[in-house]
Chain A
């Protein structure tokens, strides 16, 4: 924005006016800048207060508004002035509510925060939406034609969007094609599979293009601008796609790998739960070896599941499936002896009704952690130590033993890209950023620099914040659904597919508006690269947690803004500082740091810069204020979009200015990471590990820079954390660069 006209509006309500010398704040806090107006009001958030600002915007031409009042987390709707640059100085929660009133240090803090805000708005501009030059699309690609994929395509079409459905098998339906009877809500009984209705609905919907016997050969671009090549019968066809649902599904765990004592392969009558479905076409269950009737049958649960040697997780559906299959036998022959040998019987929700039904039908349940199958030809016996009876039970003359094997996501096959990189490096030193698990599983074939598929978290399921934001994969505009996301039953798969379709549609709409998707949904800012200064170091293309930046053959970054989540990790990673957002840049934060007034050493007022994650640490600081808990007055807080956007130059800026220490407050990393941008906090720590070089160059102690993990509810620990760091600073002494 050219010709910024800055208005500063200081609220004196909520104790601010009592705690601070407002006149001095208005004068000393603004002395270094050109400020057009500086006004106070006893309640800036009141209608009258907001009107005061609006009038200045309309009649005085103020276009840059600095509101020094409460936290930006409140009164967000009052201090919303479209077309203006707005910044909030948090005088209430983070100054007067947590520091003594009428105190020199409190006053200095308030003045610094106002100076920092003015430095910030000077560097800020209004974001303009990113609009790609190329044509944009709204169609949704669905990979996988099982019930999740079919449902995702149908739900997409019902919402008015076109869908392209790609199934690798010659027919639609996935595993459910083999299933004749199902256990489904209301779980009072088993019933006929109605898959055909779903397939017919998909085939009959003119908004859905169906490919069978086809694969996705190549996916390039990003949300709104994907170009997907679908290969069928040897020929490729390109589709313009807005967003993608990955419902590629699962395969049964390989029964050959099961422990020998489960007897798989020793008799034709020992089969898996999946084979049971294949062998019970039309609902008729027979003895696999000879097709004779089944009089005695046993189901052995958790075969190769919940076992770190096989599948360490629980596939969630096998207990209900076993109940269904057991009931099928009972329905066919009420006199049949049917046993379910289980470790923990898991029928959550209303599925408990089916368990009750099975007990009523005379199915026998045996709780046993380690059953053994003894099989020779047609003769099959199961020995099970019944935990409830405390004795070993022998089930002999079994016509059928069914092993409950689990579900393996199809994403778990193929070479691991990270391993390839290690091999290709041939001992060369690799980047110190931990590599993600991405397998060449031939599902999406993304032409992304970081690899062709979705990165996995554990057990080869896609990485996501699986509690709070289960659909958000690490690849923008691509949403996993069904059993490739996590093991689930068909009832859940219907909802899951609809949810993923929702996310895909939303991603398309946001991309068309030039806005970010979750977690900064609606954000219009995006990173811009000053390419003439790029040194092709690859930090940005390697570190982006969302794989948003490709590379050309000369290692120049090729950002794809619609894939960007706007976290700023690239900005933090770039040693040349060429990456900036309109309203968030290395220079902006650098100037905020430079705006902090550092007292002379003999004043004995150290200064510590706190770079705080705006998602967790910053609200935690607000909550200290809400509770009126006091803490050290020598800190100055700058919130960051993510700690991953922390550029090391800020540390150099701080220390060369005489600031005594820098404390970084980020989120938990590792398997239970809490970082909204997955890797940001972890990356900032890796970057920080290299800061000692910079410090050595400045002849400074490395203790001056410290990273701490803070969750949003850890605020009670913050005052002590600050004190501890101040103790460290006291030990190493004042920064010798003061006054330079």
Chain B
């Protein structure tokens, strides 16, 4: 056995895949470090309202995973952190972690006095910028660690001193700068996740031009009680309830000009979101424009259930263009019905673009050489000696598959250490 230091596993990314890899390895008795770029663990899952097909809250699963972390001293984690450098080889990697300043230290009790003390507001990234929040903030209600963050703009502002003085626990540290931490680890799991495909690139869909054209990830926040509207699905243009909601599937996906692959989850996500709308607005009409409905495995049952809803119309066809109607009050989708070849113009109050998942590795590759596929995903779980890719770093997948993949990656990382 090698020395204890290099018995550790580094997990990059604290989303569902990374968190799973870390927890599973730690519960088997291995030391693990998680490096997460957000100020909280949980990744994109934390931003979801419900999971398909059970329509249950992701917070439930996160809570228990956080509890597993709290109960396990073998897991150490860094938030607001990125991997800067990796050198060495399997069994003996030297890793430099860059820690961005939170301006709040571990004395924080999450009492919220700092937020009360500031007037500065910033776009809320957790809600994809759909609302503003105080520049001293808890990232979300179940944030783990339960610790405030001070935005760099506030830390440098005139109000900073007032915020610092408002804290009774000496938790505000305005002098915090970028720090680095050096780690020695035996193996690395890379699970840096995904980001939604940039809807601004879908030129004919009017995202960013028409406020009532939103993306699927934004819809999750709209439906969430902790979202910008307190859970009410409202048209961003006027705050009114939508009567007609259109879901545009494969918005950039399965398209050689955008993402040529299928993200695998968007069909289910849209059907799930259709249930959000139906629950809030029993009379609302919903269109789902699709190429193929990809509800594999048991998810087929969810598709069958949603299809039974008479207010939800599955419309086979690709949306060509989204425009505003003459009054400027509503949207019109131009879509060819592939069965009749008719060109339809369908009005809608709210359009949800089912954008796909782009791997973060596409523009933030690993700091060591590993093979990628044409789309920027790491080409294989065994990315290189001692380096394993998990979750959406490797292929676009659902939560359940991310758990599966993260668990598998944990074993690979353990094997790497066991070989030493």
Contact = CB atoms under 8 A, between A and B. Distances in A.
Interface of A: 13-15, 42-43, 45-46, 70, 73-77, 155, 158-160, 185-186, 306, 308, 312-316, 344-353, 356, 367, 387-388, 390, 458-459, 461, 466-471, 486-488, 492, 494-503, 505-506, 509-510, 513, 517-519, 521-522, 615-616, 619, 623, 626-627, 668, 672, 674, 676, 711-713, 716
A186 B261 CA distance: 11
Given A314-B297, A316-B297, A674-B60, A467 B54 contact: yes
Given A45-B109, A349-B395, A306 B300 contact: yes
Mostly helix, strand, loop or mixed at chain A's interface? loop
Nearest to A486: B297
Contacts of A42: 168
Nearest to A80: B73
Interface residues of B, number: 82
> Which of A155, A350, A522, A668: most chain B Cβ within 10 A?
A350
A496 to B, nearest CB: 6
B370 interface: no
10 contacts: A349-B264, A349-B395, A350-B375, A353-B260, A390-B340, A506-B27, A521-B68, A615-B64, A616-B60, A713-B224
Nearest to B230: A716
Interface string B391-402: 000011101110
A344 B293 contact: yes
Contacts of B70: 73, 76-77
B24 A502 contact: yes
B4 to A, nearest CB: 17
B64 A519 contact: yes
A522 B71 CA distance: 8
A388 B336 CA distance: 11
B403 A711 contact: no
Contacts of B315: none
> Which of A467, A509, A521: most chain B Cβ within 10 A?
A467
Interface in B374-420: 374-375, 377, 379-381, 395-397, 399-401, 403-405, 407-408, 410-412, 414-415, 418-419
B107 interface: yes
Contacts of B61: 467-469
Contacts of A627: 141
A12 B300 CA distance: 54
Nearest to B377: A350
B254 A470 contact: no
A316 B261 contact: no
A346 B72 contact: no
B291 to A, nearest CB: 8
B301 interface: yes
Given A495-B404, A522-B71, A155 B411 contact: yes
A366 to B, nearest CB: 12
Interface in B14-59: 24-25, 27-29, 51, 53-57, 59
A13 B296 contact: no
Nearest to A496: B404
Which 3 pairs of residues, A with B, have the shortest CB-CB distance?
A348-B264, A499-B407, A498-B408
Interface string B252-282: 0010000011111000000000000000000
A345 B292 contact: yes
Interface in B219-258: 224-226, 231, 254
Contacts of A13: 109, 111, 168-169
A513 B316 CA distance: 56
B373 interface: yes
A388 B339 contact: yes
B294 interface: yes
Given A14-B109, A387-B338, A506-B27, A313 B57 contact: no
> Which of A158, A348, A350, A486: most chain B Cβ within 10 A?
A348
B303 to A, nearest CB: 8
A43 B169 contact: yes
A712 B57 contact: yes
Contacts of A46: 107, 169
A345 B295 CA distance: 10
A459 B300 CA distance: 12
A186 B374 CA distance: 9
Given A313-B300, A387-B316, A623-B142, A502 B418 contact: no
Mostly helix, strand, loop or mixed at chain B's interface? loop
Given A350-B395, A467-B403, A713-B59, 9 more contacts: A74-B146, A314-B295, A348-B264, A352-B254, A468-B399, A486-B298, A499-B404, A501-B411, A518-B68
A655 B349 CA distance: 54
A348 B263 CA distance: 6
Contacts of A471: 404, 407
B298 A160 contact: no
Contact of A668 (B56, B263, B381, B401): B56
Contacts of B56: 467, 668, 672, 674, 711
Contacts of B138: 626
A613 to B, nearest CB: 10
Interface in B114-173: 138, 141-142, 146, 168-169
B283 interface: no
B110 interface: yes
B376 to A, nearest CB: 11
Contact of B301 (A312, A519, A616): A312
B182 interface: no
A713 B55 CA distance: 12
A311 to B, nearest CB: 9
Given A316-B296, A346-B292, A349-B396, A470 B339 contact: no
A461 B292 contact: no
Contacts of A619: 59, 63, 142
Given A186-B373, A390-B340, A521-B27, A159 B55 contact: no
B405 A499 contact: yes
Given A70-B109, A314-B300, A495-B381, A388 B408 contact: no
B224 to A, nearest CB: 8
A314 B377 CA distance: 26
A465 to B, nearest CB: 8
A500 B107 CA distance: 40
B407 A503 contact: yes
Contacts of A466: 298, 400
A40 to B, nearest CB: 15
Given A46-B169, A487-B297, A496 B408 contact: yes
B71 A158 contact: no
Contacts of A390: 339-341
B165 to A, nearest CB: 16
Contacts of A487: 296-297
B262 A352 contact: yes
Given A14-B111, A499-B407, A522 B27 contact: yes
B418 A160 contact: yes
A356 B404 contact: no
Contacts of B71: 76, 521-522
B141 A626 contact: yes
Contacts of B301: 312-313, 458
A499 B399 contact: no
A186 B297 contact: no
B397 A349 contact: yes
Contacts of A498: 407-408, 411-412
A505 B28 contact: yes
Given A350-B377, A672-B54, A467 B400 contact: yes
A348 B296 contact: yes
Contacts of A492: 401, 404
B411 A43 contact: no
B36 to A, nearest CB: 18
Contacts of B262: 347-349, 351-352
B336 to A, nearest CB: 11
Contacts of B408: 494-499, 502
B1 to A, nearest CB: 10
A543 to B, nearest CB: 22
A459 B397 contact: no
